[in-house]
Amino acid sequence: MIKQALLGILCGAAVLTVGILIGHYGIEKSSDSSPSWVKDVAKDVDEDLIQQFMSEVDNIEIQENLRELTKVPHMATTAGDEVTVQFMLKRWQDPENGLDAAWREEYKVYLSFPDPDNPNKVTVANTVLHTVREKEKTYTPDQDDPAVVQPYAAYSPAGNPKGKLVYANQGKPSDYDHLNQTTDLRGTIAIVRYGGAGRGAKAINAAPYGVIGVLVYTDPLDINDGLMSDVNETYPHSWYLPPSGVERGSFNSDFGDLLTPYLAAKEETYRIPTENITGIPPIPIQPIGFEDAYILICELGGGAAPNDWQGGFNCTYNYGGPGFKPTSAFNNSDVKMDIFNHETTTNSSNVMGVIRGSVEPDRYVIYGNHRDSWVHGAIDPSSGTSVMLEITRVLGRMVKQGEESRGERRSASFCFELDGSSSCPSLAGKWRPRRSIIFGSWGAEEFGLIGSAEYTEDYFTKLSERTVAYINVDIAVFANATLRVSGMPSMQNVIFQATKQVSAPGLSSTSVYNNWIRAGSDYAAFVHYLGITSMDMSYTYDRSKTNARIYPAYHTAYDTFDYASKFIDPGFTSHQAVARTAGNILIRLADSLVLPLNYADYAESLERYLEVAVNLYEEQLHARNISMEPLKLAVASFRRAADHLNQVIQSSDLPNQSPLMVRKINDQLMLLDRAFLNPLAFPDKYAFRHVIWASSSAGRPTFPGLADAFANADWEKAHYHVSVLSQAIDGAANILTDVI
């Protein structure tokens, strides 16, 4: 009985234990368990998903995107541009693989066009001895499209200057100055080659010397590695520029709509009087092909120009008498320019698309490229647009698939419209990014980065408060040799991380540049005006194989699908590698728990700048009682703060911390660059506010404002910039440190 009782107790105890175990582990505790969002807020980037994304990126899809985009010329605001707007909208609104939402935004912007009924003309002599070709020679049917715009210089004034021709090298101030020593330039027409100075600057620099018109051409030495013949050397036989090829372009110096500085160019927006526009040519200027430039330059009289003014023609480049040689058939002839360009304000569209973030919808990663081209723009910009469309196709599908399987497709857009902040169901299906992703297909970039600049003006505060980073892929593939990424130093790490995962030719020699001196593409407004961490990416040349200053068909009628698919990236694998790399970085920026930005790399850049500045300037500044100590202290304090923050990130168990503590760190990382903005530091440089990356004419790898002030021996301004920089870098360090 005792045994039985003991057994009973034992059994009972065992049963009780089993019961306790079942009760404790077997039954979900509904009342005590964590809210559903606890897991969501701690979620980090999913490496499998990145792999899946990369495997789905398809080179043939990119090729077909390009074929579609380049069917017709799509210069900004033309009928062809509208075709691309509709194409982007159709793709981004596609129910199978589109985005959550897509729409167009219009700005009424100031553009400059030639007159189709009165084409610009350049002729030699009063009784015409030579007429410069009005349109490029055609090799394929698409180049015959009547929508191919005549080569012209946007924002060149109309006019009919006539005068003796001179050769002024690249049209730099020093070139005109040199020429002026021996030649009276008053009343002359100057011919200059591309390179060395901005397009518009070639005319702006000329006017003070009395030059009344400028011709500009691309020298075969600068673009074609010297080759000139379309019989067997240039396109359609190679990637080189045919003799009649002409680089079009915008000849203004600032970015954004010229009539609405700092204001979004809407219908009723205040516009400055056109006579107040600065930075555009004061005299007519017209680009021509080297076929015609050859005829003009080789007939020039006067003395021989210096060695470094000589180009690829098989003749001596003379200064010009002014005018032609006495032995030339053109002797005593003038060159006459008849320029009929006109300006107009007209609507240009950005196409916008979004994938709404699930956990932090009010944090944006922006990915953009312009849509407008000069002619067919297969490389510039449609290579980038094709890549963007492939990225959105794959990401869009991942988002839509999730919804589909859960029958939530309708609710996503429904929530999006209504404000998903509070009442929306979780939209997480197969995938939804932690942060929101915004795609921008900018309009009218070719006229001066207009679409992206207007966008940043329109949404200044919102973008400034919420944007994590901006990724720009304009010309995705200049050449298929190697990947080049330019970016803020804080992005170096995530760029390396992504490139290591993409296998493609040339990727081993990836080079990352930390420099944003030139306002070359749509990242300009994001970097300089908004202070948003940005990068720009492309496949590019093997510099041991070509000296071309850019791909030869740039801004000409030859930048077509045929050219791109035959000579730039046959098979589209370089396009694919760019799409994989850019998408990889995009997903990391959108999904990482802690933003993959590293300010120790930024500190390194500042230290390098400081070292150069100290070496070049300290002695002379010290002699004028200007101390560089505050700048040294600021850089040191930035370094300490950056290292400290890295250490905090590494030593913390962030997935288990309050999401507000993680957000605190992410805000430090996101907003850091805003501290470098000073809207008053560069009163003469439109929209340049970032005191580290602003443009500089001094050409020194150091702080731009200080370098320029020093170059001009303006000691008040040099001292001012030391203070501006110290305060900005101290301010940035304050963002990275935790002390109030």
Choose between 54 and 722: whose C-beta lies nearer to a second copy. Answer: 722
Q: C-alpha 644: how far from its chain's center?
A: 32
- Distance CA(104)–CA(97), nearest Å, equals 19
Question: Is residue 735 involved in binding a second copy (CB under 8 A)?
Answer: yes
SS (H, E, C) 419-476: CHHHHCCCCCCCCCCCEEEEEEEECCCCCCCHHHHHHHHHCHHHHHHHEEEEEECCCC
- Distance CA(287)–CA(194), nearest Å, equals 9
DSSP state of 373: B
The DSSP line for 653-694 is: -GGGS-HHHHHHHHHHHHHGGGGGB-TTS-TTSTT--BTTT-
Question: Is residue 270 involved in binding a second copy (CB under 8 A)?
Answer: yes
Choose between 22 and 315: whose C-beta lies nearer to a second copy. Answer: 22
How near is the Cβ of 32 to a second copy at its closest, in Å? 5
Q: Are 352 and 423 in contact (CB under 8 A)?
A: no
Span interacting with a second copy, options 395-403, 406-414, 480-488, 651-659, rule CB under 8 A? 651-659
Span interacting with a second copy, options 194-202, 203-211, 533-541, 732-740, rule CB under 8 A? 732-740
Which H or E run contains 219?
A: none
- Contacting a second copy within 273-302 (CB under 8 A): 273
Choose between 144 and 716: whose C-beta lies nearer to a second copy. Answer: 716
Report the residue from 182, 656, 684, 699 that binds a second copy according to the rule CB under 8 A: 656
Question: Is residue 737 involved in binding a second copy (CB under 8 A)?
Answer: yes
- Distance CA(732)–CA(130), nearest Å, equals 61
Helix (H, G, I), strand (E, B) or coil at 118: strand
Span interacting with a second copy, options 106-114, 172-180, 189-197, 263-271, rule CB under 8 A? 263-271
Question: Is residue 644 involved in binding a second copy (CB under 8 A)?
Answer: yes
How near is the Cβ of 415 to a second copy at its closest, in Å? 10
Report the residue from 1, 2, 680, 713 that binds a second copy according to the rule CB under 8 A: 680
Q: Are 252 and 336 in contact (CB under 8 A)?
A: no
Choose between 546 and 657: whose C-beta lies nearer to a second copy. Answer: 657
Choose between 27 and 231: whose C-beta lies nearer to a second copy. Answer: 27
How near is the Cβ of 637 to a second copy at its closest, in Å? 13
Choose between 457 and 474: whose C-beta lies nearer to a second copy. Answer: 457
Span interacting with a second copy, options 146-154, 187-195, 285-293, 357-365, rule CB under 8 A? 357-365
Q: Which of 247, 445, 446, 457 is labelled catalytic?
A: 445
CB-count burial class (<10 Å; 0-12, 13-18, 19+) for 33:
exposed
How near is the Cβ of 35 to a second copy at its closest, in Å? 6
- Contacting a second copy within 623-642 (CB under 8 A): 627, 629-630
Report the residue from 413, 652, 698, 711 that binds a second copy according to the rule CB under 8 A: 652
Report the residue from 182, 660, 699, 713 that binds a second copy according to the rule CB under 8 A: 660
**445 catalytic, yes or no?**
yes
Span interacting with a second copy, options 353-361, 382-390, 477-485, 511-519, rule CB under 8 A? 353-361
Question: Is residue 185 involved in binding a second copy (CB under 8 A)?
Answer: no
How near is the Cβ of 712 to a second copy at its closest, in Å? 16
In sequence order, the β-bridge partners of residue 338 are 121
Question: Is residue 268 involved in binding a second copy (CB under 8 A)?
Answer: yes
Tell me which residue of 674, 659, 647, 662 sits closest to 734, measured CA to CA: 674
SS (H, E, C) 471-535: EECCCCECCCCEEEEEECHHHHHHHHHHHHHCCCCCHHHCEEECCCCCCCCCHHHHHHHCCCCEE
How near is the Cβ of 351 to a second copy at its closest, in Å? 14
Beta-strand relationship, 249-250 and 153-154: parallel
Choose between 542 and 716: whose C-beta lies nearer to a second copy. Answer: 716
How near is the Cβ of 474 to a second copy at its closest, in Å? 22
Question: Is residue 6 involved in binding a second copy (CB under 8 A)?
Answer: no
- Distance CA(113)–CA(158), nearest Å, equals 10
Residues contacting residue 577 through CB under 8 Å, at least 6 positions apart: 483, 502, 504, 507, 539
Question: Is residue 314 involved in binding a second copy (CB under 8 A)?
Answer: no
Q: Are 691 and 681 in contact (CB under 8 A)?
A: yes
Q: Are 284 and 156 in contact (CB under 8 A)?
A: yes
Question: Is residue 579 involved in binding a second copy (CB under 8 A)?
Answer: no
Tell me which residue of 515, 505, 524, 509 sits closest to 575, measured CA to CA: 505
Span interacting with a second copy, options 51-59, 557-565, 695-703, 712-720, rule CB under 8 A? 712-720
How near is the Cβ of 604 to a second copy at its closest, in Å? 21
Site string for a second copy, 457-496 (x = CB under 8 A): xxxxxx-xx-------------------------------
Q: Are 365 and 452 in contact (CB under 8 A)?
A: no
How near is the Cβ of 365 to a second copy at its closest, in Å? 11
**Token pair 């180009």: residue:** 311
Choose between 337 and 354: whose C-beta lies nearer to a second copy. Answer: 354
How near is the Cβ of 323 to a second copy at its closest, in Å? 45
Question: Is residue 327 involved in binding a second copy (CB under 8 A)?
Answer: no
CB atoms within 10 A of CB 63: 21
Rounded to whole angstroms, the maximal C-alpha distance in the chain is: 137
Residues contacting residue 637 through CB under 8 Å, at least 6 positions apart: 729, 730, 733
Question: Is residue 140 involved in binding a second copy (CB under 8 A)?
Answer: no
Report the residue from 158, 648, 698, 711 that binds a second copy according to the rule CB under 8 A: 648
How near is the Cβ of 425 to a second copy at its closest, in Å? 13
Question: Is residue 674 involved in binding a second copy (CB under 8 A)?
Answer: yes
- Distance CA(287)–CA(290), nearest Å, equals 10
Question: Is residue 32 involved in binding a second copy (CB under 8 A)?
Answer: yes
**For a second copy, how many residues bind (rule: CB under 8 A)?**
102
- Contacting a second copy within 372-431 (CB under 8 A): 416-417, 419-423
Choose between 44 and 417: whose C-beta lies nearer to a second copy. Answer: 417
- Distance CA(597)–CA(510), nearest Å, equals 19
Question: Is residue 716 involved in binding a second copy (CB under 8 A)?
Answer: yes
Choose between 12 and 306: whose C-beta lies nearer to a second copy. Answer: 12
Choose between 279 and 630: whose C-beta lies nearer to a second copy. Answer: 630
Choose between 404 and 458: whose C-beta lies nearer to a second copy. Answer: 458
Cis ω for the linkage preceding 95 (within 30 of 0): no
Cα–Cα–Cα angle for 631, 623, 633, rounded to 5 degrees: 15
Cα–Cα–Cα angle for 662, 663, 668, rounded to 5 degrees: 105
How near is the Cβ of 442 to a second copy at its closest, in Å? 16
Question: Is residue 659 involved in binding a second copy (CB under 8 A)?
Answer: yes
CB atoms within 10 A of CB 232: 8
Q: Catalytic residues, which ones? A: 445
